[in-house]
Amino acid sequence: MALLEATGIVKTFGKLTALNGAALSVAANEFHGLIGPNGSGKSTLMKCVAGAEVPTTGRVSFAGADITEASPAERARAGMSLKFQITSVLPALTLYDNVLLALQGKSSLVGLVFSRSRGVLHDKVMGMLERFRLAGRANDPASALSHGQQQWLEIAMALASEPKLLLLDEPTGGMSLEERRVTGELLQPIKAGCSLVIVEHDLDFIRDICDRLTVLDQGSVLCSGTVQEIQSNPKVQEVYLRRA
C-alpha cells in the first residue's frame, strides 16, 4: 500500500483550473520527483498534499487515512513535513531555536510550558545542525545565513520531527552548483526512514536522487514511472523536455 495516495485532484482558483484530475502515489522510503513545465501545477499539487490548499475535488490519503480535509497541523502530527518553495525560516530566532521549534511541534501545551526539553533535545538539535553543516552557527540568527544555508536550515527543520514523508518544494532554488551537489548528498541518508516528494526544476538533481517521477502538464498527469521510463518516454520529451 502506498504511503501517500492523491487521486483525482482538481483545484480551481476562480475560472482558472490549476489541477485537473492530478494524481500522485508514493511508496514508503521512495524518493519521488514531481516535474513539469512552469504552470503545470506542481506546487499546487504539493500544497494540496501538504494542506496549504484544499482540493476542489479529489482525495488525499496518507498512511491509510483520508486527510483531504485535515489541517496542516494534523498532517504534521500524522508524520508529514514540508519545506516551502519560498524559504520560510524564522529570521529573528537563532538556528538552534529554529530547529528546536520544529522539534516540538507535536508537544502539548503543558509540555511546552513546563518542559525541560531544551536540555533533553539538545543533542538532537545539534545533531541536525551538524548534519546540515550549520552547527558552527547555532547561535546566529537565521537572517544572517546565505540563501543556500537558509534552504538547508529549512530542510533540517522539516526533518527534525522525523517525518514519514518529507515534501520539498524547490529545495535547491537559488543555490550554487556546489550547494546543489551537497544538498543531494545531505538528502540521501534520510531514505532509510522517510519518503520524499520533491518539486525541482533541476533535472540532473532530480535524476540523481529520485526513484520515480511523475510528470505534470497543464494540471494533469502526463506519465509516471521510473527515471529511466520517464527519460525514454516520447511524450515527455515532446511536452516537457523540449520546453525545458
Partner 1 sequence: MTEALPSVALAAPGGRRMALPVIEAAVLAILALAPLVLQDYLTVYATRVLILCLFALSFDLVWGYAGIMSFGQSLFFGSAGYGVALIARDLDIASIAVVIPAGVLIGFVGAMLLGGFLLLGRHPSSVIFVSLGTMTGAYAADRLARGWYYLGGQNGIPSIQSMNIGTYELSEGPVFYYLALAILVAVYMLCRFLVRSQFGLALAGLRENEQRIAFFGYKVQHLKAIIFTLSGAIAGLAGSLYAFHEGFVWPNMLGVVMSTQVVLYVLFGGAGTLIGAVIGTVVIEAVSFWLSNSYQDIWPIILGVLLLLVIMFRPAGLVSLVLSERERVGSFGRPGRGGGDGTA
**Which stretches of the chain bind partner 1, using CB under 8 A?**
50-52, 71-73, 75-77, 81-82, 84, 88, 90-94, 96-97, 100-102, 104-107, 109, 111-120, 122-123, 126, 138-139, 141, 157, 161
Cβ closest to partner 1, residue 131 vs residue 212: 131
Whole-number minimum distance, CB 108 to partner 1, in Å? 10
Cβ closest to partner 1, residue 75 vs residue 180: 75
Cβ closest to partner 1, residue 156 vs residue 221: 156
Instruction: Report the candidate in 44, 4, 2 with the shortest Cα–Cα distance to residue 20.
Output: 44
Q: Which long-range contacts (CB under 8 A, 24 or more apart) does 59-68 make?
A: 59/5, 59/6, 59/7, 59/8, 59/9, 60/4, 60/5, 60/6, 60/9, 61/4, 61/5, 61/6, 62/3, 62/4, 62/5, 62/165, 63/3, 63/164, 64/1
Q: Cα-flanking dihedrals φ and ψ of residue 28, to 5°?
A: -60, 140
Whole-number minimum distance, CB 41 to partner 1, in Å? 20
Whole-number minimum distance, CB 146 to partner 1, in Å? 19
Cβ closest to partner 1, residue 119 vs residue 234: 119
